[in-house]
C-alpha cells in the first residue's frame, strides 16, 4: 500500500500494529476517523491513554482496576466467603457476564507450565494463599482450563489450599446446554457420563 | 459485557465505536495494549491525533495531504498532462498500488445521485474544470464505478470536459485477469464481448 501522506501512513501503521487488524482494515478505520470531527479522534486517543496510564492491578485479586482495590473486592454486597480462581481477566469478565456468580475472584495470571518456563512463583499464588488466614474464605472455586497445565495448576493449588483448611471445588464440565450430543467431543461426552449427576425433576 | 473498571469500559467503547469492531474485539485490543508498555499506547494515540489534526485536502486534486499540495501533484516526474478522476481517496490509493499509472488525480468526493440528494455542486467538479484552461491537461481518465449514478456522473463530466477541448477516456472493463469466464457476471461477460479488442500477438 502506498500513501501520499506520511501522517496517514503512520496512523495506518498504528492501527495495523494491533492484533487481528491488517493494513486494509487499518486504512478503513483511518478514513472513518477522517470523516468524523477532529474531536472524535481526540476523545478516542484520550480514552486509550487515560486507560493505559490509569489502570492498575487490584491489590487483592489482581483484577484490572481503576483504584487500589477493584470494584468487585470493594463491593460489600458480594459474598466474601467465595473466591473463584481464574487464569486471566478475560475469563473473569466471562464469568461476570453470566450474572450467576456473586463471590470474589483471584486472577492467577496464567497456569503452571514447565515447558514455557512458568512456575508457581511466576503466578499470583502467594497472594491467593495470603487471603486464607483471615478465616473469611470458606470455598475456593477453580475455573481453570482443563488442559494438562491447567490440571497441574489446580492440583498444586488444591494441595496448598487444603493445607489452609479451605474447601476447594471446580466448575462443572459436560455437554453444553443446547448442544447436540453428536457434536460434543469424545472427551467431554465420556467424562459427562462418568461424572453424571442425580436427576431432580423440580 | 460488564466491566469492573470505568477506564477499560471507556477504552472498549472507543474501539467499538469504529466500524467493523465489536465489543469482544474491542476488549481484545484493549487487553493487548495493557500487555504493552505505556509508551505503545501513547505513541498510538499521538499518531492518530497528529493525523487527524494535520491532514488536509490537496488544494488541487482533493487528495488527502500533509501539505497544501499533495505529494502526487507536487511530483514533477509525474505526467501532468493526464488526470484520473476517482470517487474517493480509497480508489486513488488502489490505482496507486498498481504502480501502472504515473499521471495526476482528481478526487470527486462521490458521484451524482439525485436519490441521495448529491448534485454536481456537491462534488469537486468546478475545481476539476478549473484545471483545464492552463492547456497542460490533454486527457482525463474516468475511473468511476459502473453504476447508474457513476455513469450519470461520467456523462455529465464528459460533456463539460469536451467543451474544454480535452480528451476523455474511461478505464477498461471486462473479465478480470485470471478470472474464469464461468464465474464472471453476465453483464461483465456480455459487455466484454461487445467491447472486444483486436488481438495482438506481440
Question: Where in the sequence of chain B do the CATH 1.10.8.420 domains occur?
Answer: 6-54
Most B CBs within 10 A among A48, A78, A104, hence the mutation to make, goes to A48
ipTM of the shown complex: 0.80
pLDDT per position as a tens digit, A18-44: 999 999 999 999 999 999 999 999 999
**Between A and B, how many CB-CB pairs are < 8 A?**
157
Task: State pLDDT tens for residues A124-176.
Answer: 999 999 999 998 999 999 999 888 999 999 999 999 999 999 999 988 888 78
Asked if B19 lies within 8 A of A25 by C-beta distance, the reply is no
pLDDT of residue A200: 67
Residue B61: alpha-carbon gap to chain centroid: 12
Q: Where in chain A is the domain with CATH 3.40.1360.10?
A: 76-198
Read off the pLDDT of residues B35-48 as tens digits, 9 standing for 90 and up: 999 999 999 999 99
Q: Which residues pair with A79 in a beta bridge?
A: A103
Question: How is residue B135 annotated by DSSP?
Answer: S
pLDDT of residue A201: 61
Judge whether B42 is closer than 8 Å to chain A, CB to CB.
yes
The answer to whether A4 contacts B70, with C-beta atoms less than 8 Å apart, is: yes
Domain at B6-54, CATH homologous superfamily: RecR Domain 1 (1.10.8.420)
Residue A202 has pLDDT above 60, yes or no: no
Residue B195 has pLDDT above 80, yes or no: no
Pick the CATH number of A76-198 from 3.40.640.10, 3.90.190.20, 3.10.20.30, 3.40.1360.10: 3.40.1360.10
- Give the pLDDT mean for B117-136: 95
Beta-carbon separation of B96 and A4 below 8 A: yes
Q: Cβ(B86)–Cβ(A18) under 8 Å? A: no
Amino acid at each position: 500500500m502506498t500513501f501520499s501522506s506520511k501522517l496517514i501512513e503512520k496512523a495506518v501503521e498504528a492501527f495495523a500494529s494491533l492484533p487481528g487488524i491488517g493494513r486494509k482494515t487499518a486504512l478503513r478505520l483511518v478514513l472513518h476517523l477522517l470523516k468524523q470531527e477532529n474531536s472524535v479522534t481526540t476523545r478516542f486517543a484520550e480514552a486509550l491513554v487515560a486507560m493505559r496510564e490509569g489502570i492498575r492491578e487490584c491489590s487483592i485479586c489482581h483484577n484490572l482496576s481503576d483504584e487500589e482495590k477493584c470494584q468487585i473486592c470493594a463491593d460489600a454486597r458480594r459474598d466474601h466467603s467465595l473466591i473463584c480462581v481464574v487464569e486471566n481477566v478475560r475469563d473473569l469478565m466471562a464469568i461476570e457476564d453470566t450474572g450467576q456468580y456473586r463471590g470474589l475472584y483471584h486472577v492467577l495470571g496464567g497456569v503452571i507450565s514447565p515447558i514455557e518456563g512458568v512456575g508457581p512463583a511466576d503466578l499470583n499464588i502467594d497472594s491467593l494463599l495470603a487471603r486464607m488466614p483471615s478465616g473469611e474464605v470458606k470455598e475456593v472455586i477453580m475455573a481453570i482450563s482443563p488442559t494438562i497445565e491447567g490440571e497441574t495448576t489446580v492440583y498444586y493449588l488444591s494441595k496448598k489450599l487444603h493445607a489452609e483448611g479451605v474447601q476447594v471445588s471446580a466448575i462443572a464440565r459436560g455437554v453444553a446446554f443446547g448442544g447436540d450430543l453428536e457434536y460434543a467431543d469424545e472427551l467431554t461426552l465420556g467424562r459427562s457420563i462418568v461424572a453424571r449427576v442425580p436427576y431432580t425433576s423440580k
